[in-house]
């Protein structure tokens, strides 16, 4: 897997971006999705999405769990880095679109 990260790094893509688009399974229903997908659909409108929320919500069964439960996220520090990254992406998108932070 490190070869994949090295290739992506050579192309200018950060590890946080790669980890936020990698797919993992919901521990409740087995639905496969990325953190980016979850933040786009299941977490849309939630005010915590802008505050580096360490949780992710399944878009199929609505089960909420911690990002660190994903197999490619090892520990709270990595979880925090990914949640900060995806929150900044969502925040930028909301600002570009003129959307509010709440439902």
Length of the chain in terms of residues written: 103
* Band of residue 29 on the pLDDT scale cut at 50, 70, 90: very high
- The verdict on residue 103 lying in a domain is no
Q: Give the whole-angstrom CA distance, residue 65 versus residue 80.
A: 14
Range of the domain at 33: 2-97
Nearest to 15 by CA among 68, 66, 61, 81: 81
Could you tell me if residue 26 is inside a domain?
Answer: yes
In a domain, 53, yes or no: yes
In a domain, 102, yes or no: no
Q: How many domains does the chain have?
A: 1
Is residue 13 included in any domain, yes or no? Answer: yes
**Within-domain flag for 37:** yes
**Coil, strand or helix at 17:** helix
Of the pLDDT bands very low, low, confident and very high (cuts 50, 70, 90), residue 98 is confident
- The answer to whether residue 90 is domain-embedded is yes
Tell if the pTM clears 0.95, that is, is over it: no
* 6 occurs within a structural domain: yes
């Amino acid at each position: 897997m490190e070869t994949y990260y090295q290739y992506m790094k050579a192309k200018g893509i950060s590890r946080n971006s790669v980890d936020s688009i990698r797919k993992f399974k919901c521990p409740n229903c087995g639905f496969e999705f990325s953190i980016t997908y979850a933040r786009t659909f299941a977490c849309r409108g939630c005010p915590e999405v802008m505050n580096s929320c360490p949780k992710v919500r399944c878009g199929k069964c609505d089960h909420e769990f911690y990002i660190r439960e994903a197999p490619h996220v090892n520990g709270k520090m990595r979880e925090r880095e990914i949640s900060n990254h995806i929150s900044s992406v969502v925040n930028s998108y909301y600002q570009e679109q003129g959307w509010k932070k709440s439902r």
